[in-house]
Every structure is written in structure tokens, then in C-alpha cells.
Amino acid sequence: KSAGQAGVLNPENGGVTDTKNLRVKLVLLGDSGVGKSCIVLRFVRGQFDPTSKVTVGASFLSQTIALQDSTTVKFEIWDTAGQERYAALAPLYYRGAAVAVVVYDITNPESFAKAQYWVKELQKHGSPDIVMALVGNKADLHEKREVQFQDGIDYAEKNGMFFIETSAKTADNINQLFEEIAKRLPRPSPT
């Protein structure tokens, strides 16, 4: 098997290029308004600026992180940019994605229900070895919380997903989200 040779793009594992430098397509899914763009901006630019709605949908933003084992992971991050309204287009959007980050807003139970819809879609149409994360965002709004931490983690565990609560506003757990995803990526064998 040639999988994992340095510099060789292997279409079977979501765009991994070699064993030390991974490049992965990451898609964000979730209701409009849950904070997907803010999470990306916080991670890529270190900012929280709800007024500068980026046009991530045109292409993607990318960000590279280094892990302790000196592996680097370059995330090519695709935001839905409102495509959640066009459910029929979704399979095109998440084709080839090695990672799906499904986001809800902890103050909004409807967004949690919608997140579960996206998980089912990904289970049906996503690549079989896709790494999925469930993210409860806006964790800073604890006084308005309507989705319990335990409900999030229970659902995630049942579906083999990584779970985390984040705040794009305070930056809580944003880097951790991407680091934990990076650790869970399948590594090509060096043979």
C-alpha cells in the first residue's frame, strides 16, 4: 500500500499528505446563529468580532497546529455560510471531509435537535472514518443554559463523537477543540 508516502495525496483518507504533516478538510455544521463563524474566527485569528461576518463560504480559512509528537495538522475549514438552508447541497459540501464539527448553542434546544439531525446525515452520507465532534457553544451564557452538559456528552458518546463545550466569546476551549480533533485523526501507516 502506498498510503502515507511523503507528499502523496491519498484520496482515501481525507487528504492526508504524509505521516508528519496532515492536511484535512473540516466542515462546520449546525443551525444558523449558533456561532460557527465566530468559532472559526476565534481559532484562526484569535478574535471575537460578531460584526465582521466573514465570507468563509467562498473558499475556506486554514490554520495549522503543531502537536507534541511534532506532527502538524493543517485544517482547511469550510463554514456552511448559510448553506444549512439548502439541505440538498450538504452532501457536496461535506464530501471528502475528514472532520465534521457539529455545533449547537447551549441556550437553544432547537439547535441541539438540529445538531442531531446533522449527525444522522453525516452517518448516512459522510465518509466512514470521518472524525466527528459535537460542540455546545456559547458556554459563557450559563445563566441562559437550556441544554445540559450531560445531554451533550450522552448523545456524543452514543454516537462515537468527541464532545466539548466552548465559548467563541471568551475563547474557552476553542484551541482545545481543534487539538482534540487533531489527536483523533487517523494516521497513515509509514509503510
Positions touching ligand GDP (CB under 6 A) are 30, 32-38, 50, 53, 137-138, 140-141, 167-169
The three state secondary structure string of the chain is CCCCCCCCCEHHHCCECCCCEEEEEEEEECCCCCCHHHHHHHHHHCCCCCCCCCCHHHCCEEEEEECCCCCEEEEEEECCCCHHHCHHHHHHHHCCCCEEEEEEECCCHHHHHHHHHHHHHHHHHCCCCCEEEEEEECCCCHHHCCCCHHHHHHHHHHCCCEEEECCCCCCCCHHHHHHHHHHHCCCCCCC
CB of residue 154 vs ligand GDP: minimum separation in angstroms?
Answer: 22
CB of residue 26 vs ligand GDP: minimum separation in angstroms?
Answer: 14
Cβ nearer to ligand GDP, comparing 13 with 107: 107
CB of residue 144 vs ligand GDP: minimum separation in angstroms?
Answer: 9
Cβ nearer to ligand GDP, comparing 13 with 173: 173
Cβ nearer to ligand GDP, comparing 34 with 102: 34
CB of residue 112 vs ligand GDP: minimum separation in angstroms?
Answer: 14
Cβ nearer to ligand GDP, comparing 14 with 35: 35
